[in-house]
Amino acid sequence: MTDYMHAFDLYVPASLEDAARLLEEHGENAWIVAGGKDSFDWFKDRHKQPQAVVDIGGLQELHGIRDHGSHIAIGATTTLTEMEESELLGEHFPVLTQAAAQVASPQIRNAGTIGGNVSQDTRCTYYRDGFPCYRAGGNACYANTPTAMNREHALFGVSRCVAVTPSDTAPALVALEAEMVISRNGTLRTVPSEEYFVGPDTDITRMTVLEAGDILVEVRIPWTWAGARSYFEKVADRQTWDFALVNIALVAKTEDNRVADARIACGGVQCTPRRLIEVEDLVKGETVGPDLETLAKRVAARGARALNYNQFKIPLVENLTARAVRSLA
Amino acid sequence: MSEDAPKRAAELGIPEFPPDPADDFEWVPATRQVAGDLPEPPLIDWRTTSSSRRAFLRGVVCSGVAVSASAHLFTVRPSEARAAVRGVERLITLNINGKARRVDVPPSETLAQTIRYRLGLTGTKIGCNRAECGACTVLADDVPIYSCSTLTHQVRGKAITTVEGVAEPDGTLHPVQQAFIDELGPQCGFCTPGQVMSAVGLLKKNPAPTVDQARRALSGNLCRCGAYHHYLAGVMRAAGRA
Ligand SMILES: Cc1cc2nc3c(=O)[nH]c(=O)nc-3n(C[C@H](O)[C@H](O)[C@H](O)COP(=O)(O)OP(=O)(O)OC[C@H]3O[C@@H](n4cnc5c(N)ncnc54)[C@H](O)[C@@H]3O)c2cc1C
Ligand code: SF4
Ligand code: FES
Ligand code: FES
């Protein structure tokens, strides 16, 4: 049934406070919608049927990109198009504008928000089709069987579930050491982007630290990597709509052809954005050039365990890493 | 059935063929056979008659009768009645193609459904209904969005433009529409309203796009006929005129 969504109650709070109160009141029955580009597919398929839908898309206090001195704050309901076109972000953090520009299609970026992009659920087709798998609270993984179609699934960090993070902006945010500001009953807490994303070993039924009642307020980008060298590349079956098979985000500081510092993260290979820590350690202090590229390529996918149909992702990670390192030359 | 088929079948030990009903069927034109001597049905002129089916639909859909007329589609559940008290009001005013239209919209209805089935503006197409094709593209405050994956209540207060709203009131086509005709853009035409809206949205924001910018702006619109180059040429032609 993909034509009509279930009948839900729609609430359009006028302030963050009202939104928090609504979430509190409806508890597990509440569902936040910002752009709705991830949510409405769930509703149309009827695999999720929350009774109270809270539309925070119009909350001005969660909207916009601002320079706060110590960091740049991106409000959770800022659209991906607004990020892509932001001069402030483009000037200092091109890796993030490039990532936002690669999401889905123009119309989805015009409505889809950064909050929704980092909080969206995985695209494992079995889970999305309503199979009662581990992630859905069941007792099996349908993607990790000898005949399952799992070319889009994980290489690393598997714990029963082999689903991957679908977001294009997430690896860029992890590379930039972004922080997520979360509101709960009026109190704010800050979570580093690396801890915001949750793997199946921590909790198999969710992708982020968000719990019922939590609202992501903004994403903060510290100045740490402003003006650094950067690289973003996404490989997908089609250039529009399709999710990344693998994407890579790199930021690096170089001094006369030597890498002083670097952070690299990959999406599409693990349930959370995967930092390529071995590659980071390897390139630090080294001179960029073909030798470094080859070495980086060798360690990039170390520890990967391919499933039946996703072996191709191993050379993909290796080659993307080599290209990212090459871009520093 | 060929003449010696039963004989060959017998040789091969296949049981006798059942009689083929097609063998002694005499073909009669369907209308005569079905209609018998009923009078000719009246011809409906879809374009001009004021009481054409389209106009009729448009009429009832926005009057109160609509609720019962389309009740099988939009069943009102008790929860929605409650929503009216605490959640959004169902009766809203939409600003569509420059006109204010009062409509009764359940909270879970998409903009594409409202536009097509309540307002009768069937120029907007629904292809995939999942944000994956672009046939349903409309402008909200001049920004192209997928109306199939937007709740009508999400665009309250925004100015919606559909393909019916881009031409001049006197019928003069929008430069994009004219250019699409000149460049033979549409083949089957199903994706065309969406392509028009994406192109109009692009030219509103960027009146002189490069080919790459135009290609990117239209990248969220699938064309099953593969007329991408024609549409692209159309946008570039319209950019010179718009
Ligand atoms: C056809 C298609 C292709 C896509 N391709 C890509 C792609 O290539 N790359 C990619 O990265 N993504 C892709 N997406 C995924 C996604 O829909 C968009 O990236 C978009 O950014 C989601 O934002 P939204 O505001 O529309 O999400 P919503 O559906 O509104 O929200 C998504 C989830 O996040 C939660 N949420 C949203 N905002 C908040 C908040 N402030 N606080 C707490 N929770 C919140 C919601 O409850 C919901 O669970 C695609 C989606 C579709 C339908
Ligand atoms: S990979 Fe995860 S989400 Fe997919 S079927 Fe297995 S348990 Fe479910
Ligand atoms: S019908 Fe909306 S994108 Fe296909
Ligand atoms: S013209 Fe047929 S789908 Fe585009």
Q: Does A314 score more than 70 pLDDT?
A: yes
pLDDT of residue B46: 40
Tokens coding B177:
């529409």
Q: Is B187 helix (H, G, I), strand (E, B) or coil?
A: coil
| Number of domains within chain B | 2
pLDDT tens by residue, chain B, 242 residues: 556 766 766 776 666 655 555 555 555 444 433 444 444 444 443 433 334 444 333 333 333 333 333 333 433 344 443 333 368 889 999 999 999 999 999 999 999 999 999 999 999 999 999 999 999 999 999 999 999 999 999 999 999 999 999 999 999 999 999 999 999 999 999 999 999 999 999 999 999 999 999 999 999 999 999 999 999 999 999 998 65
Among residues B145, B165, B185, the one where a domain terminates is B165
Residue B124 lies in a domain: yes
- Residue B149 DSSP label: G
The whole-angstrom separation of Cα A32 and Cα A28 is 11
Whether residues B160 and B126 fall in one domain: yes
Whether residues B130 and B176 fall in one domain: no
The whole-angstrom separation of Cα A99 and Cα A119 is 16
Would you say A282 and A296 are in contact if contact means Cβ atoms under 8 Å apart?
yes
Min Cα–Cα distance to chain B from A8, Å: 6
Distance A166 CA to ligand 1 centre (A): 10
A288 contact partners, CB below 8 Å, separation of at least 6: A254, A257, A258, A259, A325, A326, A328, A329
The string of DSSP letters for A219-269 reads EEEEGGGTT-EEEEEEE-SSSSSPPPSEEEEEEEEEETTEEEEEEEEEESS
Global pTM reads 0.87
Contact yes or no for B145 and A11 at CB 8 A: no
Q: Residue B202: which CATH number?
A: 1.10.150.120
Q: Is A88 helix (H, G, I), strand (E, B) or coil?
A: helix
Q: Does A5 score more than 50 pLDDT?
A: yes
Give the range of the structural domain holding residue B213, as residue numbers without chain letter.
167-242
Whether residues B120 and B136 fall in one domain: yes
Whether residues B155 and B211 fall in one domain: no
Taking CA atoms, what residue in A is nearest to B202? A106
Strand pairing report for A215-222 and A179-184: antiparallel
Would you say B171 and B163 are in contact if contact means Cβ atoms under 8 Å apart?
no
- Atom in ligand 4 nearest the alpha carbon of residue B185: 1
User: pLDDT tens digits, residue range B108-165?
Assistant: 999 999 999 999 999 999 999 999 999 999 999 999 999 999 999 999 999 999 999 9
ipTM reported for the complex, 2 dp:
0.96
Mean pLDDT of A200-224: 97
Please check whether the domain covering A63-120+164-326 is classified as CATH 3.40.50.300.
Answer: no
Q: Is A188 helix (H, G, I), strand (E, B) or coil?
A: strand
Whether residues B221 and B177 fall in one domain: yes
Among residues B104, B137, B165, the one where a domain terminates is B165
End-to-end CA distance of chain A: 52
Would you say B214 and B181 are in contact if contact means Cβ atoms under 8 Å apart?
no
What is the number of the ligand closest to the CA of A236? 1
pLDDT of residue A154: 98
Band of the pLDDT at A185, cuts 50, 70, 90? confident
Residue B217 lies in a domain: yes
pLDDT of residue B19: 58
Contact yes or no for B150 and A53 at CB 8 A: no
CB of B135 sitting under 6 A from ligand 4: no
- Which residues on B lie below 8 Å from A81 (Cβ)? 143
CB of B229 sitting under 6 A from ligand 4: no
Whether residues B109 and B137 fall in one domain: yes
Q: Does A171 score more than 80 pLDDT?
A: yes
The whole-angstrom separation of Cα A259 and Cα A252 is 7
Whether residues B125 and B148 fall in one domain: yes
Whether residues B102 and B151 fall in one domain: yes
List strand residue ranges (DSSP E) for A112-223, in order: 179-184, 187-192, 215-222
pLDDT of residue B55: 39
Residues on chain A bordering chain B, Cβ-to-Cβ distance under 8 angstroms:
2-12, 33, 36-37, 40-41, 43-44, 51-53, 55, 57-58, 81, 104-108, 110-111, 239-241
Pocket of ligand 3 (CB under 6 A): B 126-129, 131-136, 146, 148-149
Contact yes or no for B137 and A108 at CB 8 A: no
Among residues B150, B165, B180, the one where a domain terminates is B165
Q: Residue B129: which CATH number?
A: 3.10.20.30
Contact yes or no for A3 and B129 at CB 8 A: yes
* Domain A1-59 classification at class level: alpha beta
- Burial class from Cβ neighbours inside 10 Å (0-12, 13-18, 19+) for residue B91 reads exposed
Tokens coding B204:
């509103």
Whether residues B155 and B192 fall in one domain: no
Compute the radius of gyration of chain B from its Cα atoms.
Answer: 25
